Structure 1
Amino acid sequence: MASIFVDTSILRSSPAFARLWWGLGVSNIGAQITVVAVGLEMYAITGSTLSVGMIGLAALIPLVVLGLYGGALVDAYDRRRIALIASSVLWVTSALLAVQAFVGLESTGVLYTLVAVQSAAFAVNNPARQAIVPRIVPAQKIPAANSLMTITWNAALFGGPLLAALLVNWGGYGVAYTVDAVLFTFALWALVRLPDIPPALPGREGPDSGGQASCAQVSTGPARRVVGVRAILDGLVYLRTQPDVRMTFLADLAAMILASPRVLFPALGVIVLGGAETTVGVLTAAFAVGAMSAGLLSGALTVMHRQGLIIAVAITAWGMSIVAFGALMVAAGRTSPDSIQWGFLLAGACALFMAGASDAISAVFRQTILQTATPDHMRGRLQGVFIVVVAGGPRLGDMWLGTQAQWFGEGWAAVVGGVACIIVLWVLMAWYPRFLTYDARTVTQAT
């Protein structure tokens, strides 16, 4: 049984990681509360879906810009301090959101500004936190650590929106934002308890007993603090020399741009399945539950070494799941039903459950390859690129599938997207077949 369920031994052997895991897990719930509450407040002020959609644009631009620059900061300065500063900004923005709600400001400009600031801080905070993990976790335990992170992240995606609705209905937007600020103090506590994590000296990441470059033991000292365009370009140039890491980004873009179905959920809830918000909630929850389940049952997976092959199989399963989901929606028809078509809804939820599980498995190993195949002095910048890919891919996917839905309908858009994802993925594998033989036991880091 121990080999089936997620490996939790790292929570006992690494108190620093355990605190970080608990702290981030709790704070992620608050972050999802705010995501939902901001959208609800914006709609209450404007009555415009377009205004709500512009929240995503307000968040995307600083996320992309600061994601790249934040990664350079992480490689130049103490990671704990960078994460603490960025996390403090996140806490302040949550508090300011609560203040503007309590005083009844009702200003769209203030909301957009606070969302942009929050997104910019997240773009720095996330690369710092991800680059911290390999410094406090042994290399062989990084897949298990990422599985644990995936579980808490998807638990927040599942529970955060539900809690947001309850809090807004009970106490209003100010209460929801206040709860976010309170929960975020757990992340601050976890970061405060970490030791200092200064930048590593380039070329000083020595091998461990397994032949893999050490993640927990690096040589540190005074670093050349190159921050700005030059540092960002150095990171992108380095990425060009790392085809395995680059392939993880390309494979994820293929999945997220071509076959991310979330933009289809609102229309499916009205004109195909019925139930509107209820249906959207069920479909969203099914995806999150699938991802959590994959994390909980990841024990056998996280000890596997053929990580490139696992990613390819997982993304193929993702594409097939989206094809199955789309086929079910085509079968349901565009009938604008008066009541929920429970049979098609539950079958579609099962397909999304499998999609969520596949995505979680892919995410664990993509992050693992990035953390273990990249030398410590480059991890921040490549984590910054990772943030841009993760943030930009689904938004481009919304545009792609939204356009397909206008042409073919929502069901066929999902079918076409899933098929396109599988085709593009295996074209990439044919272009660089060595990715399928990637073996974690023989990883070497370029310096």
Structure 2
Amino acid sequence: MTQDPAGAAPETDTPASSRRGLSRHLVDIAPLKASPAFARLWIGGAISGIGAFMTQVAVGLQIYEITESTFMVGLVGGVALLPMIVAGLWGGMIADVFDRRKVLIASSLVAWASTIALAALSFWDQHLQGDGGHAAVWPFFVVTTVSAVASTVSNATRGSVVGRILPPEMISRATALNGISFGAMLTIGPALAGVLAAGVGLPWTFTIDAVLFTAGFLGIWMLPSLPRLGERVEAGWPVLKEGLTFLRHAPNIRMSFVVDIIAMTFGRPYVLFPALGATVVGGGSLTVGALTAAGAIGTMLTSLFSGPVARVHRHGVAISRAIQLFGLFAALFGLTTLLLGATGHEPAEGWGGVHWATLIVLALCMAGMGASDEVSAIFRQTMIITAAPDEMRGRLQGVFIVVVTGGPRIGDLYAGILATAVALWFPPLLGGVVIVALIAILTRAQRAWREYDAQAPTP
């Protein structure tokens, strides 16, 4: 061990310095300490979000129980898509016009009432089953659509609130913390829904979500007043048009949307999971759950070790590299399906029918995709919040919600069509190559994107 001129041992050789080195890589919880309002919003959102993912799974189980139709289950998202897009655009505008705390309270109350309505409908269906019948399915579609609209408005508003309750230098760290909460929602919520649905039944699963919702509502209720900054304006088409005009002259923020659409369109293999579980990997629904959880674990681990994000300033370059890495993992997913799927393994339901080598490699690909996507998400969301003026953040968050809502559905359509026309391995393999190539071209063509510096953010 060497010493410095003063005779002290190097800092890297001490246990304390090792702990400090580790802490520099772990997620930074400074935003939770700096802003009690953000801490309450984050904790409440994580708890209520677990309940929201429980309900997403429970709704599918409920509709399948009534109709015994996979198509009807898939129709839940299709029916709600257009209202969600409209809600994202108009909800963001409302967040820029009115007090954001009040908008959050109103939209959360509607979502809360929708959950209670789902519980009531489920209890009614359970009652009718005693007489050998079922409840009508259309009320479930109506209520889930209302819930999706309210949640979209709430999410667009929530994203615009963060910039008001935290200083700019903490935004990237706060976004990383949101990745941890989202990963927890995506892993715990669906698993808990399965356990509760089997143990206490679907009606009580919805009811438990309604109870968990109170945690999120308390975090919103305790926010400070967040009125519009600047001159008062009336909600309507001119305000919405103003936001779209701003976006047209904001190349960096616009580029953040474009690259995300490319990634979600060409790099989402989720729609392939059921077929992989039945024909290539085996394991059926267990494989679907394992691959889904792997992506969420990658998201959580990236957020957990997100300490260095605050020291990264070239956000445009960081986003491009993260999405290209995402594309490489997608291509590896397709290549693995092609190569390891040709093993002659006879797939079957249950863990005994799993081809473990294939499942492990595919799960690692999903974890890599979740991790790289989270890196991209941290910097994209930070860019939107810090580069845009506060009076525009609601509308931009609304567009962001439209992108993250519509992109995956377009991606599911892309993967479904090509998998049916060619093979299961083809969509992710081709899509990964397309992602890497397109991002390279766009990054090369957009100088402002390459030179974006978070220390002097420009939209």
Relative to the length of structure 1, the TM-score reads: 0.93
2:445 is matched with 431
Unaligned residue ranges in structure 2 (runs of 5+): 1-21, 126-133
1:44 partner amino acid: E
Unaligned residue ranges in structure 1 (runs of 5+): 202-221
TM-superposition CA deviations, 1:148-203 (whole Å, max 9, x none): 011101110011100000010011111111111111111110011111000111xx
Provide the C-alpha distance between the structure 2 equivalents of 1:303 and 1:178, rounded to a whole number of angstroms: 43
Which runs of structure 2 are paired with 1:106-255 in the superposition (5 Å)?
106-201=135-230, 223-225=232-234, 227-255=235-263
- Residue 51 (structure 2) pairs with residue 37 (structure 1): no
Provide the C-alpha distance between the structure 1 equivalents of 2:145 and 2:200, rounded to a whole number of angstroms: 25
Which runs of structure 2 are paired with 1:83-122 in the superposition (5 Å)?
83-104=104-125, 106-122=135-151
Cα pair 2:383 2:457 within 8 Å, conserved: no
Question: Is 98-107 or 163-172 further displaced after alignment?
Answer: 98-107
1:14 is matched with 35
- Residue 373 (structure 2) pairs with residue 359 (structure 1): yes
Report the count of equivalent residues: 424
2:296 is matched with 288
Which runs of structure 2 are paired with 1:361-376 in the superposition (5 Å)?
361-376=375-390
Provide the C-alpha distance between the structure 1 equivalents of 2:137 and 2:441, rounded to a whole number of angstroms: 45
- Post-superposition, which runs of at least 4 consecutive aligned residues in structure 1 deviate over 4 A? none
Cα pair 2:266 2:427 within 8 Å, conserved: no
Larger gyration radius, structure 1 or structure 2: 2
- Specify the SS of the correspondent of 2:307: coil
Provide the C-alpha distance between the structure 1 equivalents of 2:262 and 2:55, rounded to a whole number of angstroms: 29
Question: Is 302-311 or 46-55 further displaced after alignment?
Answer: 302-311
CA-CA distance at 1:323 after TM superposition: 0.7
1:353 partner amino acid: A
CA-CA distance at 1:444 after TM superposition: 4.3
1:418 is matched with 432
Provide the C-alpha distance between the structure 1 equivalents of 2:390 and 2:136, rounded to a whole number of angstroms: 43
TM-superposition CA deviations, 1:2-53 (whole Å, max 9, x none): 2100100111121110000000000100000000000011111111111011
Question: Is 105-114 or 303-312 further displaced after alignment?
Answer: 105-114
Cα pair 1:20 1:190 within 8 Å, conserved: yes
Cα pair 1:12 1:18 within 8 Å, conserved: yes
1:260 is matched with 268
TM-superposition CA deviations, 1:190-237 (whole Å, max 9, x none): 011111000111xxxxxxxxxxxxxxxxxxxx5112x22222211111
- Specify the SS of the correspondent of 2:147: helix
Provide the C-alpha distance between the structure 2 equivalents of 1:340 and 1:358, rounded to a whole number of angstroms: 27
1:148 partner amino acid: L
1:280 partner amino acid: V
Cα pair 1:58 1:115 within 8 Å, conserved: no
Relative to the length of structure 2, the TM-score reads: 0.91
1:206 is matched with none
Cα pair 1:273 1:332 within 8 Å, conserved: no
Provide the C-alpha distance between the structure 2 equivalents of 1:348 and 1:293, rounded to a whole number of angstroms: 17
CA-CA distance at 1:376 after TM superposition: 0.6
TM-superposition CA deviations, 1:352-391 (whole Å, max 9, x none): 1111000011011100000011101111111110000000
CA-CA distance at 1:407 after TM superposition: 2.1
**Which of 390, 406, 411 is the equivalent residue of 2:404?**
390
TM-superposition CA deviations, 1:90-147 (whole Å, max 9, x none): 1000001001111216221011001110011012111111111000011000000000
